[in-house]
A = this chain, B = another copy of it.
């Protein structure tokens, strides 16, 4: 008969949290597909569970292909089903490759007079980082080994990066301004 042609791949997003990338996990994805009946002409619809093992440290864009799990008809070769890993937004951290970024928001007084930042970790601990020096806006401090597992070498881990934002007062009274003029360099 005619030569059968393969359908183009069916691509789905597979959203993973940073915690799932940190620990690794198994995701069960339900797909719905058509399969040929034994008569070779009619089709029936069925559900199938595809199981995806998210490995520790996997990067956004990683693809997992299940060959020929698309719809089957008398005249085609079923499409491949492809899942593409996508990071879910995290309530606290931003991901930068294998590093995670913690927004450390401090007041101007803390930035100038010293501060302690308590940062949560991916495994539920808290890390305290103190600074007695002036912290300039945009300063980044690295905490080695508290990031995500490296995808090529999951026993090693990236860093946590404290990303300092300095909150200025909305306004200052005239007395405060006069005093600051005497204290701060020009």
Could you tell me which A residues sit within 8 Å of B by CB distance? Answer: 107-109, 111-114, 133-134, 136-137, 166, 168-172, 176-177, 179-181, 183-186
Contacts and interface: CB of A to CB of B under 8 A. Distances in A.
Nearest to A166: B137
A44 to B, nearest CB: 52
Nearest to A175: B183
Identical chains bound together, number: 2
Nearest to A182: B179
A176 B184 CA distance: 8
A14 B176 CA distance: 53
B170 A113 contact: no
22 contacts: A107-B184, A107-B185, A107-B186, A111-B168, A112-B172, A112-B177, A112-B184, A113-B177, A113-B181, A113-B184, A134-B169, A134-B170, A137-B166, A169-B184, A169-B185, A176-B183, A176-B184, A179-B179, A179-B183, A180-B180, A180-B183, A183-B183
Contact of A137 (B133, B168, B185): B168
Contact of A109 (B107, B134, B186): B186
Contacts of A112: 168, 172, 177, 180, 184
Contacts of A107: 184-186
Contacts of A172: 112-113, 134
